[in-house]
């Protein structure tokens, strides 16, 4: 199995989005000069506020897609947990302040 990192394991989580990268190669005789551009799967991600593009081999796409999904699911779950904790803290503080007023 081909791996992205040269290690024996596939990526567990990856931030970013899977995209189709389209470009013209610049060769005058190529089909892309007058027709459809070349397409390849890619991972779009951000580093220090700058968007980066990592082109992928077709066999890497399923592992990358799964890792991106796991990342999004993890972030969503963490945000929901954090929001529930914040709501709980707010309720306790409001209750404490209401008791002081009475």
* Domain map (residue ranges) of the chain: 17-101
Q: What is the value of pTM for the model shown?
A: 0.74
8 A C-beta contact, residue 11 and residue 66: no
Q: Is 20 helix (H, G, I), strand (E, B) or coil?
A: strand
Q: What is the mean pLDDT of each run of 10 residues along the chain (102 residues)?
A: 56 96 92 92 97 96 97 97 98 94 79
Residues sharing a CB contact under 8 Å with residue 3, sequence separation 6 or more, in sequence order: 9, 10, 63
pLDDT attached to residue 101: 83
Residues sharing a CB contact under 8 Å with residue 67, sequence separation 6 or more, in sequence order: 10, 11, 12, 13, 14
Token representation of residue 40: 């390849």
pLDDT attached to residue 2: 44
pLDDT attached to residue 3: 44
pLDDT attached to residue 97: 93
Instruction: Please give the Cα distance from 78 to 48 (Å, whole number).
Output: 22
How big is the CA angle at 48 (ends 55 and 21), to the nearest 5 degrees? 20
Residues sharing a CB contact under 8 Å with residue 38, sequence separation 6 or more, in sequence order: 22, 23, 24, 25, 32
């Amino acid at each position: 199995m081909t791996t992205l990192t040269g290690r024996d394991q596939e990526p567990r989580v990856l931030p970013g989005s899977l995209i189709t990268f389209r470009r013209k190669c610049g060769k005058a005789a190529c089909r892309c000069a007058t027709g459809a551009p070349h397409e390849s799967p890619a991972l779009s991600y951000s580093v220090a506020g700058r968007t980066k593009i990592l082109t992928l081999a077709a066999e890497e796409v399923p592992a990358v897609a799964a890792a991106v999904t796991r990342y999004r699911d993890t972030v969503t779950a963490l945000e929901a947990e954090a929001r529930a904790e914040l709501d709980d803290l707010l309720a306790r503080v409001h209750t404490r302040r209401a008791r002081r007023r009475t």
